[in-house]
Amino acid sequence: MSLVSANKTETNTYAVEIAVSAEDFRAAIQQAYMKQRKSIVIPGFRKGKAPLMMIEKLYGQEVFFEDALEIVFPTAVQAAYDEAGITPVDQPRDVDVKTMSKEEGVVLAFNVTVKPEITVKSYKGLTAEKADSKVTKEEIDHEIEHMLDRGARIVDVDDRAAKDGDITVIDFEGFVDGVAFDGGKAEKYSLTLGSGSFIPGFEEQVAGHSVGEEFDVNVKFPTDYAPELADKEAVFKIKLHEIKVKELPELDDEFAKDMGEYETVADLKKGIEEDILKRKQESAQRAFEDAVIEALCENVEGEIPECMYDNKAAENVDSFAQRVAQQGIDLDTYLMYMGMDKAMFESQMRERAVSDVKIELAVEKIIELEGIEASEEAINEEYTKMSEMYQIEVEKLKGIVPEATVAAEIKKQEAFKVVIDSAKAKKPAAKKTTKKKEAAEGEAAPAEEKAEKKPAAKKTTKKAAPKKEEAAE
């Protein structure tokens, strides 16, 4: 097998011609024959025992040519790439078999798209925004509220009527025009009043009633509800079994001790502040690094073949499909649940692929310019880390993950380190405010004098009685 010629015909495209010797081609024919002879029947011979010569005499000398070509083609093409010093980024196309015979071997030509020559205008000293990491009193208080809520006890209340925030346990059955409808019935259902779980007006009418009461709730289904119930008047027969409330623990030193290695509430708040700060700093650093890499993409110059983007996008789609499949769902079903059509999803994957390809090319160029290598020590350390992570012996791991793959990843990470470590952070641009807002803020009362306001509840398109599967006992 040998390279006949490799000529650049246009940007990122080479015309390649290769030759496979007669000896190599005949060996491939023999290999194809051995692979298929078990299924060949010729009169006078037992099945699978007919000699090659007889099969060729009966079916023609070219009977195994196509199969033999499939055998030698990948090896011959790779050898040609190696000899020509080119790196393909797509499959050979426009393949033309010029000669194919036992006596002369094979000569074929094809075109191939190769990895482009790119430049990186700049990869050191890139600038990106990095947010300041500060922790507010409100954030600490919010975290403590969650802790208190997790430690809350649910206690029964039987000396008053139900009110907003209570957990009520009810039986209910809904009727439209006096007829019960599917999904409108449940027993001992826990409903938190004010949660907005049911259709508008339902929870408000449960409030004010006491344990043991039976009463009606009159509501009207929203116009955008299920077609069979939309915009219809309904009556729910209710029986209130229980009223419960969350009883939060006291925020004191004992509570602080229960939350970990804290002695006092002050220690607890300090620990929470440190945890939140660490999370914010890590998040800010990740966002900064992402912005730096995005800036690196913008510094890549060169004519990149479209097929590289297309292939990467297809790879991203396949990878995503495999991840959702591991959760027991196919891609089409996942997209349906997410309200996204496949064309939109593939468009997003294509957009991401553009960045992925540019980053890969930039990293390769940086490795080249910086002369980055993966030492034997670094490779062994990486194998040790992987062994500990996956609980697989190093020697077995080496049989699964080639050393070249490990070395490539080490060099890639070193290239990223060069870019990130030299990058400069800048403060995010101040958000613009309207004059009207600025005036309002200037006239506002001091923060400590403002009354706290709860954020407005988010509107939803469907607030209704439980779905059928929720109501079923």
**Mean pLDDT over residues 409-433, rounded?**
90
DSSP 3-state of 95: strand
Same fold, 2-115 and 153-247+463-471: no
Q: What is the DSSP string of 145-179?
A: HHHHHHT-EEEE--SS---TT-EEEEEEEEEETTE
Average pLDDT, the chain: 90
Count Cβ atoms below 10 Å from residue 105 Cβ, excluding itself. Answer: 19
CA distance 126 to 344: 32
Using only C-alpha atoms, what is the Rg of the chain?
Answer: 35
Whether the CB-CB separation of 221 and 191 falls below 8 Å is answered with: no
Residues 6+ apart with CB under 8 A from 261: 271
Residues 6+ apart with CB under 8 A from 31: 68, 71
Domain parsing of the chain, residue ranges: 2-115, 153-247+463-471, 284-426
Which residue in 238, 198, 239 sits closest to 220, CA to CA? 198
CATH class (in words) of the domain with range 2-115 = alpha beta
**Mean pLDDT over residues 202-211, rounded?**
96
Instruction: Give per-residue pLDDT as tens, 91-147.
Output: 999 999 999 999 999 999 999 999 999 999 999 999 999 999 999 999 999 999 999
**Mean pLDDT over residues 338-343, rounded?**
89
For residue 43, the model assigns a pLDDT of 85
43, 60, 80, 385 from 53: Cα distances, Å = 14, 10, 32, 57
Examine the pLDDT at 210 and tell me if it is beyond 50. yes
Count Cβ atoms below 10 Å from residue 18 Cβ, excluding itself. Answer: 25
For residue 433, the model assigns a pLDDT of 52
**Mean pLDDT over residues 222-251, rounded?**
94
The pLDDT-based confidence of 430 (bands split at 50, 70, 90) is confident
The amino acid at 113: T
Handedness of CA 38, 41, 42, 43 (dihedral sign): positive
| Residues comprising the chain, all counted | 473
Whether the CB-CB separation of 105 and 281 falls below 8 Å is answered with: no
Statement: 284-426 belongs to CATH 1.10.3720.10: no
DSSP state of 39: G
For residue 335, the model assigns a pLDDT of 92
* Paired strand residues for 13: 10, 113
Statement: 153-247+463-471 belongs to CATH 3.40.50.10490: no
Instruction: Give per-residue pLDDT as tens, 265-320.
Output: 999 999 999 999 999 999 999 999 999 999 999 999 999 999 999 999 999 999 99
Instruction: Give per-residue pLDDT as tens, 460-470.
Output: 333 344 433 33
CA distance 116 to 111: 15
Alpha helices in 331-448 (DSSP H): 331-338, 342-370, 376-390, 394-400, 403-422, 435-443
